[in-house]
Amino acid sequence: MTIQTHLDQLRRTTAGCQLTAFGDLSSKLILRSSAAAPCPREVLDNLSTKAATCFSVLDADTAVDLAENGHYGQSAIMFTPSQSFVFARPDIAADDVTCAVIDNAQDVEQALHAVRDTVRKIGEDNR
């Protein structure tokens, strides 16, 4: 499956999901996206900035302490009263990031699992 197909599937199967995207953290660029309606470039640029901001909060000392558990630094969620932005990547050093924008009051944990699952599938397809 292509990355685009994975993004489409993630958006359709995740409750309250309006937009999914795949991007590069180092360049802060969204490379692929899936949305029900045409999505302005500014929205995608803003999404990549949010992803970079989220992961920039990570602490180097904590990363060392928790390195063996394989969870720290792989995913992050930014939330406001109106939306949640779920981000996940294959590992703490990876620049590839998968994003999902979720309506407020939806199940954030379910969305997090879905985005992580998509990251895993994209990784397997690109081996």
Partner 1 sequence: MTSAILPSQDNTTETVNLKEVLHRFSTKSEWLAAERQTLPEAPRAQLEILLREISETVLPRCIELTAKGATLATLTVSSRRLYAIVGPDQDSSFTTDADAREFATQLLDLSKRATALTTRTIDDPSQVSDTGNSCSVAALRSALVIDDRPCDIAHLADLLEPTALAQMTWSGDLTKHVFSGDEVWKHMLQAHTESAISKLSDPNKMKFPTSQDATGVAIPISRDAVLILAVKDTLGVASVSPVKEGLKAISAWQISDT
Question: Amino acid letter at 62?
Answer: T
Binding of residue 109 to partner 1 (CB under 8 A): yes
Tell which one of 1, 12, 71, 120 touches partner 1 (CB under 8 A): 71
Closest residue by Cα to residue 110 from 9, 4, 13? 13
Tell which one of 45, 50, 94, 95 touches partner 1 (CB under 8 A): 50
Q: Which two tokens stand for residue 101?
A: 């924008």
Closest residue by Cα to residue 100 from 2, 13, 41? 13
* Residues 115 and 19 sit within 8 Å (Cβ to Cβ): no
Q: Is 35 helix (H, G, I), strand (E, B) or coil?
A: strand
> Is 2 or 49 the residue whose CB approaches partner 1 more closely?
49
**Which range of residues in 1-9, 19-27, 33-41, 66-74 is near partner 1 by CB under 8 A?**
66-74
Q: Is 85 helix (H, G, I), strand (E, B) or coil?
A: strand
Tell which one of 31, 39, 43, 77 touches partner 1 (CB under 8 A): 77
Binding of residue 27 to partner 1 (CB under 8 A): no
| Residues engaged in binding partner 1 (CB under 8 A) | 46, 49-50, 52-54, 56-59, 61-62, 65-66, 69, 71-82, 84, 104-109, 112
